[in-house]
């Protein structure tokens, strides 16, 4: 089968750029707000899709997360997407989205999960005084920054590091690790295997 990958973005699209530069075949780029990531897709000749959360309440407390998740999943399903990779995607989707793509949503996070979940992982690592942190690629679930870990890469915390300098070194590692893992997952799906088999391979490696 030809695996159709959708990359979900919300911001500058630097992870998307790394995926494209590494040769990952991206079929669709989706976004939850107008952002540079959509420009990156258009410049690369990749189909783009904006499902703007502004139409669902934006960033107010009454944001219709459930309806948004169902509509986003439906839009991706209508485009025959097989695998989803979140790349700085700022909207937490509900279980309804994961039901459409069971164990087929990947995410990258700037810590060695399960440590330092959430949006401020780098600053939390610095505040905790750890000697090292890193990045994790995992199968996303409805729970934030949870799910089976596919791969991790360690990054030392250096004397004098601030959030910006540490995050930049994590990003450099992330831009190598995430494309490699996505490529491996796409190969497994192409061979008729599921993501679970890749989890086992990564654990045994």
Catalytic residue numbers, as ranges: 109
**Which sign does the torsion angle of CA 141, 98, 15, 64 carry?**
negative
Helix (H, G, I), strand (E, B) or coil at 26: coil
Query: Token digits for 4?
Result: 């159709």
Strand ranges for 39-86 from DSSP E:
47-50, 83-86
**What does the DSSP assignment read for 128-177?**
HT-SEEEEEEEE--SSTT-S-EEEEEEEEPPTT--HHHHHHHHHHHHHHH
Residue 141 CA: distances (Å) to CA of 27, 109, 154, 190: 22, 13, 23, 22
d(CA 37, CA 135): 21
Closest C-alpha to 33, from 17, 53, 63, 7: 53
Taking the alpha carbons at both ends of the chain, their separation in whole angstroms is: 26
């Amino acid at each position: 089968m030809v695996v159709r990958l959708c990359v979900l973005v919300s911001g500058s699209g630097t992870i998307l750029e790394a995926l494209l530069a590494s040769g990952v075949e991206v079929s669709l780029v989706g976004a939850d707000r107008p952002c540079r990531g959509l420009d990156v897709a258009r410049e690369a000749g990749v189909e783009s899709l904006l499902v703007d959360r502004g139409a669902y309440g934006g960033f107010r407390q009454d944001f219709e997360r459930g309806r948004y998740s169902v509509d986003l999943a439906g839009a991706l399903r209508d485009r025959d997407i097989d695998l989803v990779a979140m790349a700085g995607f700022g909207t937490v989707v509900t279980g309804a989205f994961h039901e459409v793509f069971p164990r087929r949503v990947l995410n990258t996070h700037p810590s060695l999960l399960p440590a330092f979940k959430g949006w401020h992982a780098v600053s939390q690592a610095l505040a905790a005084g750890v000697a090292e942190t890193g990045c994790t690629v995992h199968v996303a679930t409805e729970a934030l920054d949870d799910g089976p870990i596919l791969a991790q890469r360690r990054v030392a915390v250096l004397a004098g590091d601030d959030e910006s300098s540490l995050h930049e070194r994590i990003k450099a590692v992330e831009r190598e690790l995430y494309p490699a893992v996505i490529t491996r997952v796409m190969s497994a799906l192409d061979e008729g295997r599921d993501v679970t088999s890749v989890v086992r391979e990564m654990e045994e490696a």
